[in-house]
């Protein structure tokens, strides 16, 4: 009942309200996808398994397949969802949860996947502006206890490519290859560098190496080592991972094989694109992580009313 805790969850509520408001204003349709699945939703291993009337099943790691089917194949073109996401990762860190609220969006691409980045950049500016306008007293109550600095962000969201990010790190004396994944430590360091150079806590990094992204990520047509994928950062920590998805079944199967994935295990995913699919892209946002980083909280559990981690499953 403390004023700070009350305020944290009122801010959390407003983040979801603003997310929904903005996307509805951009002609998105809210959808609701199943959380009980017959297989791993992203072809991964970190899923909670269960018995479904004698058949193996799992809890959804992501609404990935279903939001792609709705946006690219189902005629909706622009969709979003606010719903639970489950990750069976034994991660006992300050920024991981086993169950969190996902703010997901997916949209058809008319000409270039930069269209998705433009929507995402404007979406976050709308959320940040809205929090300042509508949650002034709540932000002050949280500040009294946690003393965070106001988030700095640009009206037009900064976008840098992965190679530029790596170069900035090397110039600061940090070892980072253009084709290796960023460690958490290097992400934080890059956030500090970007803040100093561009005066923003919020930015998009684009063109990740293909080798460090999921199999369904669209390769860069101009450089086969890169991909049409991106991450979004607040205060040097990733809060969204996204990409243009592969919408051609043949290329999807080819990329799955390159990752050593048995195509039979993802047949329903690939088959959903066989009757034609629009080029599309999107991303998934961790709501609790956005709240934690916006408010400068020391631990993600402070932005989850009933946190679920490897050691906690009650109350």
Phi, psi of 104, deg, nearest 5: -110, 145
Question: Per the residue annotation, which of 89, 115, 248, 253 is the catalytic one?
Answer: 89
Question: Per the residue annotation, which of 10, 20, 95, 146 is the catalytic one?
Answer: 95
| Whether residue 95 lies in the annotated active site | yes
Question: Per the residue annotation, which of 115, 146, 241, 248 is the catalytic one?
Answer: 241
Closest by CA position to 60, among listed 71, 77, 48: 48
| Whether residue 238 lies in the annotated active site | yes
Question: Per the residue annotation, which of 81, 106, 238, 288 is the catalytic one?
Answer: 238
Question: Per the residue annotation, which of 66, 87, 213, 301 is the catalytic one?
Answer: 87
| Whether residue 25 lies in the annotated active site | no
> 108 has which bridge partners?
280
Could you give the CA distance from residue 79 to residue 30 in angstroms, rounded to a whole number? 6
Contact 87, 269 (CB under 8 A): no
90-97 long-range contacts, CB within 8 A, separation 24+: 90/310, 91/309, 91/310, 92/309, 92/310, 92/311, 94/298, 94/299, 94/300, 95/237, 95/289, 95/292, 95/300, 96/300, 96/309, 97/288, 97/300, 97/301, 97/304, 97/307, 97/308, 97/309
| Whether residue 280 lies in the annotated active site | no
Contact 112, 35 (CB under 8 A): no
- Reported as type and span, the H/E element at residue 229 is strand 229-234
Contact 42, 62 (CB under 8 A): yes
Question: Per the residue annotation, which of 235, 245, 247, 289 is the catalytic one?
Answer: 289
Question: Per the residue annotation, which of 96, 134, 146, 308 is the catalytic one?
Answer: 96
| Whether residue 96 lies in the annotated active site | yes
Instruction: List, by residue number, the catalytic residues.
Output: 87, 89, 95-96, 238, 241, 289
């Amino acid at each position: 009942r403390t004023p700070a805790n009350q305020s944290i969850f009122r801010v959390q509520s407003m983040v979801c309200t603003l997310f929904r408001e903005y996307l509805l204003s951009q002609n998105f349709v809210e959808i609701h996808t199943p959380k009980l699945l017959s297989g791993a939703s992203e072809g991964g291993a970190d899923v909670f398994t269960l018995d479904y009337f004698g058949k193996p099943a799992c809890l959804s790691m992501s609404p990935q397949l279903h939001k792609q089917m709705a946006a690219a194949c189902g005629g909706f073109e622009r969709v979003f969802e606010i719903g639970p996401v489950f990750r069976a990762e034994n991660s006992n860190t300050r920024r991981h949860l086993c169950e969190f609220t996902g703010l997901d969006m997916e949209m058809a691409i008319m000409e270039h996947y930069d269209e998705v980045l433009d929507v995402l950049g404007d979406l976050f500016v709308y959320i940040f502006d809205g929090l300042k306008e509508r949650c002034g007293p709540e932000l002050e109550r949280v500040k009294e206890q946690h003393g965070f600095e106001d988030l700095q962000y640009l009206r037009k969201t900064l976008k840098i490519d992965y190679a530029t990010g790596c170069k900035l790190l090397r110039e600061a004396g940090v070892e980072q290859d253009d084709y290796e994944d960023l460690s958490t430590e290097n992400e934080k360091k890059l956030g500090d560098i970007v803040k100093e150079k561009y005066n923003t806590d919020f930015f998009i990094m684009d063109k990740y190496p293909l080798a460090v992204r999921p199999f369904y990520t669209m390769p860069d047509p101009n450089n086969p080592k890169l991909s049409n994928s991106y991450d979004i950062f607040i205060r040097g920590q990733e809060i969204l991972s996204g990409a243009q998805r592969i919408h051609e079944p043949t290329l999807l199967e080819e990329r799955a094989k390159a990752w050593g994935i048995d195509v039979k295990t993802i047949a329903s995913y690939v088959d959903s694109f066989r009757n034609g699919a629009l080029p599309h892209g999107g991303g998934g946002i961790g709501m609790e992580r956005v709240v934690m980083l916006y408010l400068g909280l020391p631990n993600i559990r402070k932005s989850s009313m009933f946190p679920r981690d490897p050691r906690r499953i009650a109350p």
